[in-house]
Amino acid sequence: MGLRRGETRRALLKGLAGATGISAAGLVVPRWALAQSGKLKIGLMLPYTGTFAQLGVAITNGFKLAVQEEGGKLSGRELEYVTLDDESDPAKAADRANQLVTRDKVDVLLGTVHSGVQMGMVKIARESGVLHIIPNAGVAAATGELCAPNIFRTSFANAQTTYPMGKVLVDRKVRNVVTLTWKYAAGEEAVQGFRDSFTKGGGKIVKELWLPFPNVEFQSLLTEIASLKPDAVFVFFAGGGAAKFLRDYQAAGLKGRIPLYGSGFLTDGILEAAGDAGEGVETTLHYGDGIETARNNAFRVAYVRNFKIAPDVYAVQGYDAGLLLAAGLKAVKGDISKKKEIIAAMEKAEIDSPRGKWKMSRAHNPVQDMYLRKVVGKENKVESVAIKGLDYPPASVCKMAG
């Protein structure tokens, strides 16, 4: 082939783009060569079917947009995606995550949306040490008792999104509230965050109502709410279930009679599906469509141009996962084997997010501003910052060294 010295190595490395570890001549390629030059394997374990399907798609889109804006590569490394539908099914979660790590040998495990599924992924991440980025699921343990150096979250902790709403309702002198949500970790922690600040300020939760995930048969619960006549209702729902809940709340005649509040997942990404049933609903969240910054506007324009759909909080979280990984890889010039240095860079990174700039807590969860938003037309308009720079539950729960 007539290669000069130096070119030989470059040509060999180029031939490795398939990341098989075996060169054309049948040579086994040293690990360092693959770590620096083969394709980076990203395991996307997300819901692509069921009530959270559109959330998984938005996260995937957001991540890919961030990579595209880096020139389609991260620190010179092309990416290869291995995509797996987790179906929001906790029972299969650990096996599926293990398959990505052990069989597919992904360099980065990215996912997921559902807190129960997340617990299975965290288990595998802790056992294997694989770099793990959580782009949604808010389960407290992931950046609490089970925190680990290789586990990062670019989204929120469940209670972080609802703690501000308790404060908002206390300030408005709302007294008696009924809560309603799915009975699983995300719902339980969402209610806990709300309860913490609401009852501390003198509010009373007159009844906690639950239904199993992903059940959307709300009728009997809405009848019960009508007879309890609270001052307000607080809920956690998301995705398809949230759109259905808003429509049912309106159809039951409760809209306009009993004010409805929640974490922003209630109204994010689903306003088309909800018709006018979301109009006027106020929520708290770390993002809002109407954040008027050049950064957010540029992100929204680029997202719509690429995917022909408006972005939402899930798209932002996926995008920020891409920014975070890019920051980690830059510090090591794309050498994924230098995990300690990557982790150190990710811990220090200031993420210039469409939501506003944020950094990791020492538990690897975003410390971020929480907005009070209101649905106006098909947008979640930002009314105010409900709490600035919120770290909740406090990072001190995490016993990780450092």
Residue with tokens 């889109």: 61
Which 259-288 positions form the footprint of ligand PHB (CB under 6 A)? 265
The stretch near ligand PHB (CB under 6 A) out of 6-14, 130-138, 334-342, 356-364 is 130-138
Q: Under a CB-based contact definition with an 8 Å cutoff, are residues 264 and 276 in contact?
A: no
E strand residue ranges, 2-124 = 40-46, 79-85, 108-110
Judged by beta carbon, residue 176 or residue 192, the one nearer ligand PHB is 192
240 forms part of the interface with ligand PHB (CB under 6 A): no
Picking from 367, 342, 343, the residue whose alpha carbon sits closest to that of residue 357 is 367
**In whole angstroms, what is the distance from residue 363 CA to residue 212 CA?**
30
Interacting residues of 5 by C-beta distance below 8 A, sequence separation 6+: none
Q: Of 136 and 154, which CB lies nearer to ligand PHB in the complex structure?
A: 136
- Residue from 115, 150, 250, 368 touching ligand PHB (CB under 6 A): that is 115
Select from 349, 356, 350, 380 the least CA-distant residue to 296.
356
Residues 22-81 touching ligand PHB, rule: CB under 6 A, are none
Minimum distance between the CB of residue 158 and ligand PHB, rounded to whole angstroms?
6
**Min CB(187)–ligand PHB separation in Å:** 8
Question: Burial of 220 by CB count in 10 Å (0-12 exposed, 13-18 middle, 19+ buried)?
Answer: exposed
Least separation in angstroms between CB 117 and ligand PHB: 8
Strands 151-153 and 131-134, by their bridges, are: parallel
* Residue nearer to ligand PHB on the CB measure, 114 or 300: 114
Contact call for residue 114 and ligand PHB (CB under 6 A): yes
The distance of Cα 319 from the centroid of its chain, to the nearest Å, equals: 10
- Tell me if the bond preceding 60 is cis, omega within 30° of 0: no
- Residue placing its CB nearer to ligand PHB in the complex, 115 or 284: 115
Closest CA to 203 of 222, 177, 226, 178: 177
Contact 381, 288 (CB under 8 A): yes
113 contacts ligand PHB (rule: CB under 6 A): yes
CB 122 within 8 A of CB 132: yes
Nearer to ligand PHB, 269 or 354 (CB): 269
- Minimum distance from CB of 80 to ligand PHB (Å)? 27
Three-state SS annotation for 132-165: EEECCCCCHHHHCCCCCCCEEECCCCHHHHHHHH
Which among 34-42, 98-106, 110-118, 282-290 is the span making contact with ligand PHB, rule CB under 6 A? 110-118
Q: What is the DSSP string of 337-363?
A: T-HHHHHHHHHHPEEEETTEEEEE-TT
Q: Report how far residue 332's alpha carbon sits from residue 75's, in angstroms, rounded to the nearest whole number.
A: 9
Nearer to ligand PHB by C-beta: 106 or 137?
A: 137
Place of tokens 């990416």: 79
Binding positions for ligand PHB, 177-206, rule CB under 6 A: 186
Sole window of 137-145, 204-212, 245-253, 303-311 interacting with ligand PHB (rule: CB under 6 A): 137-145
Applying CB under 6 A, does 238 fall inside the site for ligand PHB?
Answer: yes
Interface with ligand PHB, residue 157, by CB under 6 A: no
Regarding 142 and contact with ligand PHB (CB under 6 A), the answer is no
Restricting to residues 329-388, which ones interact with ligand PHB according to CB under 6 A? none
Nearer to ligand PHB, 55 or 222 (CB): 55
Query: Would you count residue 138 as binding ligand PHB (CB under 6 A)?
Result: yes
Query: Which of residues 114 and 255 has its CB atom nearest to ligand PHB in the complex?
Result: 114
Q: How far is the CB of 328 from ligand PHB (least distance, A)?
A: 24
Residues touching ligand PHB: how many (CB under 6 A)? 11
- Supply the minimum distance, in Å, between the C-beta of residue 230 and ligand PHB: 24
Using the rule CB under 6 A, give the single segment among 63-71, 108-116, 120-128, 172-180 that binds ligand PHB.
108-116
Kindly list the residues in this chain that would bind ligand PHB in the complex (CB under 6 A): 113-115, 136-139, 158, 186, 238, 265
